[in-house]
Structure 1
Amino acid sequence: MNTVLPDALRPLTPLIEMHLGAAVQGGVRLHGGDISAAYRLRTTRGEFVLKAARPAGPTPAGSQHLPMYAPEAEGLALLRAAGPLAVPDVIAFGDGPGGWQYLLLSYLPPADDTPALHAALGRGLAALHARPAPGFGGTPDNLFGSLPQRNRAAGSAAEFFWCSRLLPQLERAGSALGAADRARFAELRGRLPRLIPPEPPALVHGDLWHGNLLFTARGPALIDPAVAFSHREVDLAAMKLFGGVPGPVFAAYTEALPPAEGWEDRVALWNLYPLLAHVNMFGAGYLSRLREALEASLRLPERWSG
């Protein structure tokens, strides 16, 4: 493995070596990374993962500076404490030279993608969602991709979903959404309590598309969380958003912790949030899919009293 850290990142090497008490011998760029650059590092202590990014824009005047990886580190700690699925260990995070922020993690060696691991992921996710949570919202605010994510306490899943998920993204979208779009979202707001099954809150990963699921030598693993105490269907829907999650994962989950009737119909509803966020992060290319999901959500039957 050759050292391939770009020149701009190389000033981080002494800092990494200080945290590890080891010399960096090489690195390779990992797949993905719209927000961060990620590298698998080889060191004299073994292998680690480095994530690094330059935050967009300065810290607003009068606001408290928060390292961009602090929310991710907190989310990983919450998932690790819950226990059923593997999570990388956080070694260090903070500000580095050249305006870079960084997160240093343990490396989870990959394992073959097998039916046994698919089933273990489904059961582990069910075990995570079955753990009692104190209420909807109430965790520290964090990030979804590069966007601020609000986690204010709420009295119900519907209130949390509207006030801390959809509304902030709708406000951020500005003129990207037309008057007809906003009228349809206003209609959805009134119906939300009757569309969402009443269940206790759960700790959710919050951004559980297939790229944030790993099959490793330690078992199924979760990375890059956007955690919250929310409705567990958030994670089930996210695994359907871009495909790539094998069917046996869902089969094992539903056997261990059956979702409420019609959960697959509600995938479009829960995925309104990540689709809105994608419009705000990446542009109008996601608008047609957002509108399709919105229309599908408005066609849902009102199964609950709210």
Structure 2
Amino acid sequence: MSTPFQSPPGTPEILVERLREAGYAAEAVEEATGGVVAVAGLVTLEGGAQVFAKTILGPDSDVFTVESAGLAELRSRGGVNTPDILCVSPRLLVLERMRPRRDEEHFWEQLAHMVAALHMSTVTERFGWHRDGWLGRMRQDNTWETDGHAFFAERRILRWLPEPLVEAAFDREERRALERLCASLPELIPPQPPCLTHGDLWQENIVATGDGAPVLIDPAVSYTWPEADLSMLWCSPRPAVAERFFAVYREIAGLQDGWEARMPVLHLRELLSTIAHGDDDWGAAEAVREIARPFRTRPAEPARPER
């Protein structure tokens, strides 16, 4: 069971203070919204330069060192555009400023080329990573495993069931249905070699350089099935033009038949994480029930009276 971070209040003062401690003189902070872990924002420094910075409250942790290591690995091993890391400590992460993306076909085609190259160039033999990571405020178990179905079952689905809010969301039979689904993963997901994945590839983690090229931020990296990355983008809100991403990715990297039908199963990790973080007001629990419904046991039929 995970111990979540303390939820930060919506105030940038602590961020300004910790920037000052690290040698950055902040003149203004445009606070970012939507995050669940950090106090973050676009910071204007004395002299006019801008950086993106974030801090967390509560005890020091390795969340920023893990994030920076993930960004570095995506760039060095996978050729992914990521922000330059300007400062990292247990309390502070300072990154190169990026720009909002422009949702045009060319952008999503570029992104497809970048993600396909990441997946195709980093194929390996083991699932996991050399250290555990974070997904939101909670630990991501990246213990090495040679069996991809066992890895996804234990580290990405069943790992969430003991979390208090997940326990409260599902009854015993619903949890057993998820366990049966996990036992059936070899029949649901065809064998695929692991590769380096971003791990949290939805639209809010896709931004752009100054000249408009795609950039990935806020990773939860591990070596796992490439379709796990695709499921995050497929099943999360996305602009209509993002359909071009899947068409181009399929042309470059290929996808095994039935990939669209597998996306919801691979998205279970995100749905369960959403519930565990207390953010289920948009229906994540019902989505989990629908995915697991075929694995519920059927009630016994009543005996027919003899004639």
Distance 1:186 1:7, change over 3 A: closer
State the match for 1:42 in structure 2.
44
After TM superposition, give the deviation of residue 119 of structure 1 in Å. 0.3
State the match for 2:107 in structure 1.
117
After TM superposition, give the deviation of residue 84 of structure 1 in Å. 3.3
Aligned pairs (5 A) from 1:1-306: 6-16=12-22, 18=23, 23-43=25-45, 44=47, 46-55=49-58, 66-95=61-90, 101-110=91-100, 112-131=102-121, 132-172=123-163, 173-217=166-210, 219-245=213-239, 246-282=242-278, 284-285=280-281, 286-295=284-293
After TM superposition, give the deviation of residue 128 of structure 1 in Å. 0.4
Distance 1:122 1:104, change over 3 A: same
Amino acid at match of 2:39: A
After TM superposition, give the deviation of residue 25 of structure 1 in Å. 2.7
Question: Does the 8 Å contact 1:119/1:252 carry over to 2?
Answer: yes
Amino acid at match of 2:144: A
CA distance in 1, matches of 2:189, 2:161: 20
Q: Which moved more, 1:258-267 or 1:186-195?
A: 186-195
Return 5+ residue gaps in structure 2 as ranges.
1-9, 297-307
Distance 1:297 1:125, change over 3 A: farther
CA distance in 2, matches of 1:198, 1:275: 23
After TM superposition, give the deviation of residue 8 of structure 1 in Å. 3.6
CA distance in 2, matches of 1:267, 1:199: 14
After TM superposition, give the deviation of residue 111 of structure 1 in Å. 5.0
CA distance in 2, matches of 1:236, 1:120: 15
Distance 1:11 1:117, change over 3 A: same
CA distance in 2, matches of 1:224, 1:14: 23
State the match for 1:303 in structure 2.
none
CA distance in 2, matches of 1:128, 1:266: 21
After TM superposition, give the deviation of residue 121 of structure 1 in Å. 0.3
Question: Does the 8 Å contact 1:36/1:51 carry over to 2?
Answer: yes
Amino acid at match of 1:292: E
Question: Does the 8 Å contact 1:84/1:125 carry over to 2?
Answer: no
Amino acid at match of 1:106: E
CA distance in 1, matches of 2:109, 2:174: 39
After TM superposition, give the deviation of residue 27 of structure 1 in Å. 2.1
Distance 1:221 1:283, change over 3 A: closer
CA distance in 1, matches of 2:32, 2:86: 18
Larger Rg: 2
Tell me how many residue pairs correspond in the alignment.
Answer: 278
Identity value in percent? 28
Amino acid at match of 1:11: E
Return 5+ residue gaps in structure 1 as ranges.
59-64, 96-100, 299-306
After TM superposition, give the deviation of residue 139 of structure 1 in Å. 2.7
TM-score using structure 2 length: 0.83
CA distance in 2, matches of 1:46, 1:5: 22
Distance 1:159 1:26, change over 3 A: same
Q: What are the superposed Cα offsets for residues 63-90 of structure 1, whole Å, 9 maximum, x if unpaired?
A: xx63321211111111111343310111
CA distance in 2, matches of 1:109, 1:176: 38
CA distance in 2, matches of 1:272, 1:111: 27
Secondary structure of the corresponding residue to residue 203 of structure 1: strand
Q: Which moved more, 1:255-264 or 1:185-194?
A: 185-194
State the match for 2:6 in structure 1.
none
